[in-house]
Chains A and B, each alone.
Chain A
């Protein structure tokens, strides 16, 4: 679960497994009920958010506990633009993503004076500030905790259903994985990973640290803004509740337990964490406790994250023992 694991191990096994997974995901909607659809969609949205944070943490090694703030910006942009300007969803979503990226860029000028755990604190404060801005400040406009309703998505006059959203989100998450991998396997990605391990070394190799961290944070903002924009349209509701600190931490945990440093791992981690969170919600009082137990178990017993754990299992199955 270390932030720096190269994703250059594109063995045949990985491609094979990914294809199987892809086919499974593609035909999933055909034979499952509405509840599972809901979990899958919410999970994948979490996966997208985790992919964003993965670039900042998984690649560059910088902690981000405020990712839900980026989601909030994307989500509220979509919601408020629709409410006040009747902006079509596609345009609203694009603007939401852009706004989130812009906020990331602006805050980077302050946040990037920090590093590592202090940066974790800065991002926490960032997330809290955004949350409270939407929940408590400017409530005349944002309607605070009551939230903003959105119209269901309509395509050519027909109301889009769960299945449609499922495929939209699936395509989005695949695109985001593709983008993340492209970044990772390029000189920019290598530079980011060098920053995570040792800043002095990275500088001496010609990496402009501030520039790359800024790029990483903006990418984080863009992807998480997308996640937020998708979320509010799916739920037809935008409220601060989904963008609070626990959700930021949830996203971050997803990156870490998925197998930080690999895009696929982060996506899986995000999906798993969000799904678990939703599954546990009906448990009400037991929610917090169960969540803590599951998280603790993953951290203690799966040191390489979920993807690493699966990989280890696969290797044991093949009779190969690899470190």
Chain B
């Protein structure tokens, strides 16, 4: 493979994996803004989406539209379970935030455990939804999956932005995030808002997982790394802002891919840590320089 091809491939794969992380980050930023809970289960909904995709869409057991419906519905169900059983009771109880966060971890472990039991924790290779024929564009020859990811990410981001800013529910969600007490005073049902945040987050996460499955190796334990990287990306971009989370994730993805490709795969985690430290030390509001959420 020639130099330029390698570079472009690294670039595209960086953007793609970065988008998956960014979407995960965006997803839990939504939940964080609504309830100050950091959702450890964000990766799990992606995993459910990935498995739903693999089992329902690729295997051809059900017609594709039904399969796609499953990709959306199953993560929502998982998210609902995590929220209602674990997060919500603690938020209602006004328990310290750390308890709610650990509760989402417990929920994530349960979902991961259930899926792991069923699949015996084996890896799961899904087919490529758009076929294996690479799309050729100049020096670039990439799998259509990458294009699908990028297009979907753009679409999802736009949809999310639209939802937040142009719909009644979305604005209510923003209000709930900015000042929960005030929001409930003006008649916004906080419980429903949190449900909504979890719902949106689950949909985004599930689709992210579905798209990423052919690229990442899907397994019952793929959730936690996704959440960690998504979180790091969110902080890099500027915590509290969903679009910053997405941007941060993409930047992180690019850094990781380029480092792995051109420098040394073994030391990637170290790089990520150092990058995070440097950003946090010298630009705590994130690379984009937005005002940090308190």
Q: Which of A110, A126, A137, A300 contacts B267 (CB 8 A)?
A: A137
Given that A121-B231, A285-B120 are known contacts, is A113 also in contact with B99, CB under 8 Å in the complex? no
A34 within 8 A of partner (CB): no
Interface residues of A in 81-121 (CB under 8 A from B): 107, 110-111, 113-114, 117-118, 121
B38 within 8 A of partner (CB): yes
A125 touches B102 (CB 8 A): no
**Nearest B residue to A291, CB-CB:** B109
A-B contact count (CB 8 A): 130
Looking at A113, A126, A128, A256, the one whose CB has the most chain B CB atoms below 10 A away is A128
A290 within 8 A of partner (CB): yes
Q: Which of A117, A128, A299, A303 contacts B228 (CB 8 A)?
A: A128
Q: Which of A114, A295, A303 contacts B106 (CB 8 A)?
A: A295
A133 within 8 A of partner (CB): yes
Q: Which of A124, A139, A287, A290 contacts B266 (CB 8 A)?
A: A139
Chain A residue contacts of B108, Cβ below 8 A = 292
Q: Which of A63, A285, A291 contacts B117 (CB 8 A)?
A: A285
A286 touches B267 (CB 8 A): no
**Nearest A residue to B86, CB-CB:** A296
**Chain A interface main SS type:** helix
Chain B residue contacts of A299, Cβ below 8 A = 86, 90, 99, 102-103, 106
A1 touches B95 (CB 8 A): yes
Chain B residue contacts of A113, Cβ below 8 A = 280-281, 284
Chain A residue contacts of B98, Cβ below 8 A = 1, 3, 63, 256
B113 touches A290 (CB 8 A): yes
B117 touches A289 (CB 8 A): yes
B272 within 8 A of partner (CB): yes
Number of interface residues of B (CB under 8 A): 50
A253 within 8 A of partner (CB): yes
Given that A63-B98, A128-B273, A129-B273 are known contacts, is A288 also in contact with B266, CB under 8 Å in the complex? no
B122 CB to closest chain A CB (Å) equals: 11
A122 within 8 A of partner (CB): yes
B124 CB to closest chain A CB (Å) equals: 15
A256 touches B110 (CB 8 A): no
Bound Cα distance A271, B281 (Å): 35
What 3 pairs across the A-B complex have the smallest Cβ distances?
A289-B113, A292-B109, A129-B273
25 contacts between A and B (CB under 8 A): A63-B98, A110-B281, A121-B231, A121-B235, A121-B276, A122-B280, A128-B272, A129-B269, A131-B269, A136-B265, A136-B266, A137-B270, A139-B266, A256-B99, A288-B220, A289-B109, A292-B107, A292-B109, A292-B113, A293-B106, A295-B102, A295-B106, A296-B85, A296-B86, A299-B86
Which residues of A come within 8 Å of B, CB atoms?
A: 1-3, 63, 107, 110-111, 113-114, 117-118, 121-122, 124-126, 128-129, 131-133, 136-137, 139, 245, 249, 253, 256, 285-293, 295-296, 299-300, 303
